[in-house]
Structure 1
């Protein structure tokens, strides 16, 4: 096989394939509106305590 003619592999781009509908900085989720860690922990604890759906 002639490896010299193969050329270098194409480097991939890190661009996402699509945009998230609620990405930070978008209209639905503007910058500076992130919840605090305490709010996140409280929400996770409430979710863990909620009754499971069948």
Structure 2
């Protein structure tokens, strides 16, 4: 049986169902406001040190 000829509707593709609240480009997280790698590493080290105490 040729199921392609039945004319079944296709899904909408890979469109997300909702938008993230903190997606890049929004009011809370505008483009160009990402922290540098050094800032991220410093924050991770501080958190690891705090949790190890």
The TM-score with structure 1 as length reference comes to 0.71
- C-alpha distance in structure 1 between counterparts of 2:29 and 2:16, whole Å: 18
Give unpaired runs (5+ residues) of structure 2. Answer: none
- Residue correspondence of structure 1 range 1-54 to structure 2 within 5 A: 2=1, 4=2, 6-7=3-4, 10=10, 13-51=13-51
The TM-score, its normalising length taken from structure 2, stands at 0.72
Q: Which runs of 5+ in 1 are unaligned?
A: none
Bigger helix share: 2
- The number of equivalent residue pairs is 49
Q: Deviations over 1:8-45 (max 9, x none)?
A: 88465121121111111000011110100000111111
Q: Where has structure 1 moved over 6 Å in runs of 4 or more?
A: none
